Amino acid sequence: NTFGIRSFLGVFAITMLALGIEGSANKIAVGVVRDDGTILSNPRKTYITPAGTGFLPRETALHHQDCPAFARDHFFVTYRGISPKELDCLCYTKGPGMGGPLVVGAVVTRMLSQLWHKPIVGVNHCVAHIEMGRVVTGAVDPVVLYVSGGNTQVIAFSEGRYRIFGETIDIAVGNCLDRFARELELSNDPAPGYNIEQLAKKGSKYVEFPYTVKGMDVSFSGILSHAETAVREMLAKEECTPADLCYSFQETIFAMLVEITERAMAHCGSRDVLIVGGVGCNLRLQVGVLGAGPAVLLLCCNLRLQVGVLGAGPAVLLLCCNLRLQVGVLGAGPALLLLCCNLRLQ
């Protein structure tokens, strides 16, 4: 029976380790994760550009090309208790993301695979955000608000698969925040969205921005265009301060996200909300989601998980179950049973 098999596994303390390389955007990271979700290593390095500018694929890829040296200096020096022989697989972000930076991660992973004779597992970046969030928070079946620089989606697991209940119809919320910060010439260190959040705390005057929710979808292009105009005109006339604009901009776009998340919760009959992605680290967004109802259980993945562990964690699950499934469909427990039973499951 299942209990007997799990007890058998416990006696031999079977543990699998995966090393993941994440480089889909301006961060390069090398993470090591155990099959029970324990994060053993999570060093990362961010490509930071001057204020008022963004990051381009070519320059970002050049920044990531020191990934082998980064892995050597941070992983092998800091975590000397783990040797390459103990790793069960090497993982990399297969996509989605920026082409140039993604290629760097893939090439480095293939190089290490040949040197260490380890199998390679490609990981879907979006699914990894959700699955690592579930592992870290212990969420079972939450409504997921996935908000990052390249994605804005409300997702839930329904009828045997992940389904998108709402999303942006143009640009992602993270990209919207980044471009607004660029207009204000805010620093990109440590991140534009973080600096907007801090400056918004000093704002006191609400400036009205376009509020665009279409059914379960949101649109950010209109509010961004309006904001870019408002920055130039209102600041020139001294009608408001940059802090007021950050406060008003943030309140408006987060209200839009909370509205569609609340609708998805009502549809699924769920009170659990899991926020993943870089924008999910914003405390104001978290407070806004909590305000959706007194029974809401907010599960925030406040770790900077858009890093190496995104590559390593879900891939451990995929390697264990040995199935041609989308990353992270099976949990670590059942996956180990499949490995020991050696079932040829389709």
Give the model confidence (pLDDT) of 194-251 as tens digits.
999 999 999 999 999 999 999 999 999 999 999 998 888 999 999 999 999 999 999 9
Q: Would you call the peptide bond into 190 cis, given omega within 30 degrees of 0 as the criterion?
A: yes
Average pLDDT, the chain: 81
pLDDT at 157: 81
Which regions of the chain does DSSP assign to beta strands (E)?
17-22, 27-34, 39-41, 44-46, 89-95, 120-124, 143-147, 152-158, 161-167, 213-214, 217-218, 272-276, 297-300
Q: Give 164-198 pLDDT, tens digit per residue.
A: 999 999 999 999 999 999 999 999 999 999 999 99
More confident residue, 123 or 79: 123
How many Cβ atoms sit within 10 Å of the Cβ of residue 138? 8
pTM of the entire predicted model: 0.82
